[in-house]
Amino acid sequence: MAKSKISEMEEHHETVVDGVVTMMKPVLDKSEQPIFVYLDDNHKSCNKRFAAMLGYGSPEEFSKVRENFVETFIAKESQEAVMRNYSETFTKKLSASVFQGEWKKKDGSTVNTTVIHVPISYDGHLVALGFVSEKR
């Protein structure tokens, strides 16, 4: 039986994120910063530091969350600013940007951060890289 278009697109998006993770592996593994890779709500990844910062046991556990990214991972007070920054960075400027925001941890608590948002192109898709610093 032939694959559906949706199934093919899902598989392709997984391949895109896997390709970015492979390309960025030295940085993801060695950076002291939490880093995330975001294509869309269902296709994302991160390094171990980012997963741990949000209370997930591994990047794989974080990646399996299939909910609205902003509602699930961004504190309510920061959601509008994050969406505005993403829109400006990825639809208008196509250049790196910096924003302050609070992330929601798995346990419901929050962590205040500064994020450097970097758009990259991979296999015809714009993918977000986020380099995160906790504000202590």
Q: Residue 38's beta-bridge partner residues?
A: 44, 128
Are 20 and 120 spatial neighbours (Cβ–Cβ below 8 Å)? Answer: yes
pLDDT (tens digit, 9 = 90+) per residue, 98-117? 999 999 999 999 999 999 99
The boundaries of the domain holding residue 82 are 5-134
pLDDT of amino acid 18: 97
pTM: 0.93
Average pLDDT over all residues of the chain: 94
As a whole number, mean pLDDT of residues 74-78 equals: 97
Q: Considering its fold, how many domains does the chain have in total?
A: 1
The domain that holds 109 is classified in CATH as: 3.30.450.20
In the chain, the N- to C-terminal Cα span, in Å, equals 54
Are 102 and 123 spatial neighbours (Cβ–Cβ below 8 Å)? Answer: no
> How far, rounded to the nearest angstrom, does the alpha carbon of residue 87 sit from its chain's CA centroid?
14
Handedness of CA 17, 22, 26, 30 (dihedral sign): positive
Instruction: Write down the residue that tokens 């492979």 correspond to.
Output: 22
